[in-house]
Structure 1
């Protein structure tokens, strides 16, 4: 179940549906309900801050719920509380700030996300033009896709010894016209290869700039 079909909630709902899940979408905006009517298993115009409304919608039949209400903090909190009250344990909720996040967790949200903040951080790292994609796991570690740095081109990974010399681990290689391959010690890096690399954020950025 996804409550709130704005940009974040709508993307979550459509992706879940495309993955083969049955998705109940709910929003108080009739225009959004109409927009998603053909994309999701079921879409309803409803205020989900009340347990009786959720029960009438069959929300208890769902294992997980996503509360993607961002601007109306009161509605966000009340919806999480109502979902917890009817017994849904796996609740994901969108937060706008740290205080909002703390209250969501105390109200019953098992997972709290900051989509705008995460996207802002990701874009900031991608401004380094050698990084093609970037996902942070915490404040220090990440996995990134980047262009092969010149110092390791033309030699096997065993020879370049990236883990010891640069404090990063090359997980895989994507070569134009070929499938993704897992990196092994005898993998030779070509000039136009894209690498999937893991490590500390500062080390990945330093490595990408070589």
Structure 2
């Protein structure tokens, strides 16, 4: 789920689009104590979330008058979760920008779509399908147990400590010099993750979290393949 900033303890949010992404986001935020106004043009979708969300409304988000009537301009935080209809997604985002909504998150279905959303004023763009597909591709094709691209070109990965590094301190492995990545955390069997230092010694079964440029993280993962 996106990490949404909030200021002045304002836990009200407008979510436009109650499809798979918008609906699951809305439910999770309600679970976390947020006041959620869910909006969609589909009566069926709105009805399905009517009891779970704080407020729901059937309306066309590309209609400026409709947005004014629901008080969209009074929200400091909004999510445009419209994915399949690009024109609606872009126009809705543009209208929220014009209304002065301070923090707008928008779902994109492609990088091109995302660039357009940024150009019209979206403050944060997420590509859930693309990001998940990319993440799973790294998991099934390499040695990573988990993988997150923190931003384009910079990633974090979790993997088992390589056999060749067992019994050595991180300083001795020269992992940074060899691969251009940094081990930021280590988890021994039966223990919790802890911060790693150059004096941390790796043991059999340890899990390590590495961070660095995406290409370097991928190169490190490939080097550990049997």
TM-score class, shorter: 0.7 to 0.9
CA deviations over 1:50-101 (Å, ceiling 9, x no partner): 2222222222232111111111222212211221222213212122345433
CA deviations over 1:152-198 (Å, ceiling 9, x no partner): 11222232232123321001012343222111223222221221100
Q: What is the RMSD of the two structures over their aligned residues, measured on CA atoms?
A: 2.2
Query: How many angstroms apart in 1 are the aligned matches of 2:111 and 2:198?
Result: 43
Query: How many angstroms apart in 2 are the aligned matches of 1:159 and 1:103?
Result: 47
Query: How many angstroms apart in 2 are the aligned matches of 1:23 and 1:120?
Result: 28
Q: Is the 8 A contact 1:51 1:86 kept in 2?
A: no
Of the three residues 12, 16, 23, the one matched with 1:3 is 16
Normalising by the residue count of structure 1, what TM-score does the alignment of the two structures yield?
0.87
CA deviations over 1:189-208 (Å, ceiling 9, x no partner): 22212211001223223323
Report the CA distance shift for 1:78/1:140 in structure 2 as closer, same or farther (over 3 A): closer
Unmatched 5+ stretches in structure 1: none
State the 1:17 CA deviation: 2.8
Match of 2:186 in 1: 173
* 1:26-175 alignment runs, 5 A limit: 26-175=39-188
Normalising by the residue count of structure 2, what TM-score does the alignment of the two structures yield?
0.82
Of the three residues 7, 13, 19, the one matched with 2:26 is 13
Unmatched 5+ stretches in structure 2: 1-13
